[in-house]
Amino acid sequence: MKVTRLHANGEFRLHEEESPTSASDEALVQVKVVGVCGSDLLWYQTAGIGDARLSRPLVLGHEFTGILEIGKRMVADPAVPCGQCSPYQEGNPNLCLALRFAGHGQEDGALHEFMAWLRRCLIPLPDVLSDDEAAMLEPLGVALHAVDLGKLRFGMRVGIFGCRPIGLLVLQLAHFAGAADVFVAEPLAHRLEAAHTFGARDWKPAQEVDVGFECAGEDDSVADTLQAVKPGGQVVLIGIPKDDRTVLPASIARRKGLTIKLSRRMKFAYPRAIALVEHGLVDVRSLVTHHFPLEQTGEAFELAAKRVGIKVMVVP
C-alpha cells in the first residue's frame, strides 16, 4: 500500500508499506478523500504545531472519508478521547487530557490507501453526500462548535476575519443562525469573492459587530476583530498562529470588556453537520477547488500553502 509521510518541514516521501491490520475495536478503511487543513500546513511548514513536534516520519490528514471492508461509506471523527478524564466526563471530549488525534504527534493520519480506525469514531454516511462533501464534515464541525461558542441570536451583526474554509463555513452558519448582517475581512480576492457569493459584506473599520470570529490565526486579524466587536461583545478565536503566540491589543479588549473565547476542534457536531449538508442548508461542495493524487501530496500542500483556491483534497 502507498503511504505519504512527512520527514521534515517541507519534505514528504512516498512509501510502500504493508496494509494495516485492524484490532478488535477497529475497522479497516479504504481512504477515498483527504482534505488539507490549515493545521496540516503548520506541520508541513514548521515540522510541528504548538508544543507538538515532529519526532518520526508522520502521516498527516484528519479530514477524511472512506469505505469499510463491507462496502459501507463512512466519515471519520479524527479525535479519540480517553473517555475517563474530568473534561470528558464534564461533556467536553474536545478538551480530553489524553486525546488521540489523526495526523498529530504520534498518531498517523489518513494519507494512506488504507488505515485502521476505531469503529466508535466512524459515522455512516447518507448516499446523497459525495466523498468531497463527506471530507468537509470535519471542518464544518469545527465551524459549528465555534458558532456555538459565539452564542449567535437572530438579528445580530457578525464579523468574520479570514475567509479560509473555516471562515466561509462560519459565514454560512451565521446567516443560517439568523444574523442580520455578516461582514468579512480577507486580503485574497478569490476568497473575498467566495464570501460575497454567500451574502457577506466587506468590513470597514467604522462598522461594529456583536460577535467577531477570528479565522486566520494572524495578529493583525485578531486586532481587527477586537476593534470591530462592540463593548460587551463576544470574540471567538479559531485561527492557529504559526509561532504558537497570539498578540492582541489588551487595552481595547479591556476597555470594551470583551469576552474572548478560544475554540478547540469540536464536540458532538457530526450529526448536525451531516444534516446541514444533506438538506442543502450549508454548501461545502463549492469550497473544494483542487484534487491531487497521493503521489502528488507535496504539490497539494505547496498549492495550499500559497493560498491558491480554497480547499485542496488528496485522493489516495
Which part of the chain is CATH 3.90.180.10? Answer: 2-136+284-315
- Closest alpha carbon to 140 in 80, 192, 63, 197: 63
Tell me the mean pLDDT in the region 144-157. 97
pLDDT value at 194 more than 90? yes
Determine the pLDDT at residue 287. 98
**Does 2-136+284-315 carry CATH code 3.90.180.10?**
yes
What cell does 213 get? 470570529
Other CB atoms within a 10 A radius of the CB of residue 77 amount to 24
Rg (CA), the chain: 19
- Cα–Cα distance, 248 to 270 (Å, whole number): 32
pLDDT value at 71 more than 90? no
Note whether 200 and 180 are within 8 A (CB). no
pLDDT value at 56 more than 90? yes
Note whether 66 and 29 are within 8 A (CB). yes
Determine the pLDDT at residue 75. 96
Tell me the mean pLDDT in the region 97-125. 95
Determine the pLDDT at residue 50. 84
- Identify residue 29 by its one-letter amino acid code: V
pLDDT value at 183 more than 90? yes
| Burial environment of residue 78 by CB neighbours within 10 A (0 to 12, 13 to 18, 19 or more) | buried
Tell me the mean pLDDT in the region 181-193. 97
Determine the pLDDT at residue 74. 96
Strand partners, 158: 182, 211
- DSSP calls for 103-157: TBTTB--S-BSEEEEEGGGEEE--TTS-HHHHHTHHHHHHHHHHHHHHT--TT-E
Which part of the chain is CATH 3.40.50.720? Answer: 140-262
- Read off the pLDDT band of 12 (50, 70, 90): very high
Note whether 135 and 63 are within 8 A (CB). yes
What cell does 19 get? 496494509
| Burial environment of residue 177 by CB neighbours within 10 A (0 to 12, 13 to 18, 19 or more) | middle
pLDDT value at 242 more than 90? no
Note whether 169 and 192 are within 8 A (CB). no
CATH of domain 140-262: 3.40.50.720
pLDDT value at 214 more than 90? yes
pLDDT value at 312 more than 90? yes
Q: Which of 25-34, 101-110, 172-181, 242-251 has the lowest mean pLDDT?
A: 242-251
Q: What is the pLDDT of residues 247-281, one digit of tens each?
A: 999 999 999 999 999 999 999 899 999 999 999 99
Mean pLDDT taken over the chain: 95
For residue 2, how far is the Cα from the chain centroid? 25
- Cα–Cα distance, 228 to 232 (Å, whole number): 12
> Which region, left, alpha or beta, applies to residue 150 given φ > 0 means left and ψ of -120 to 50 means alpha?
alpha
Distant-in-sequence, close-in-space partners of 32: CB < 8 Å, separation ≥ 6:
64, 65, 66, 67, 131, 315, 316
pLDDT value at 243 more than 90? no
- 3-state per-residue secondary structure call for 252-278: HHHHHCCEEEECCCCCCCHHHHHHHHH
- Read off the pLDDT band of 303 (50, 70, 90): very high
Other CB atoms within a 10 A radius of the CB of residue 59 amount to 20
Query: What φ, ψ does residue 160 adopt, rounded to 5°?
Result: -125, 125
- Cα–Cα distance, 274 to 257 (Å, whole number): 36
Residue 45: helix, strand or coil by DSSP?
A: helix
Q: At what angle do helices 165-176 and 137-150 cross, to 10 degrees?
A: 60
- Cα–Cα distance, 61 to 292 (Å, whole number): 14
- Read off the pLDDT band of 157 (50, 70, 90): very high
Taking CA atoms, 79 is separated from 38, 96, 121, in Å, by 16, 10, 8
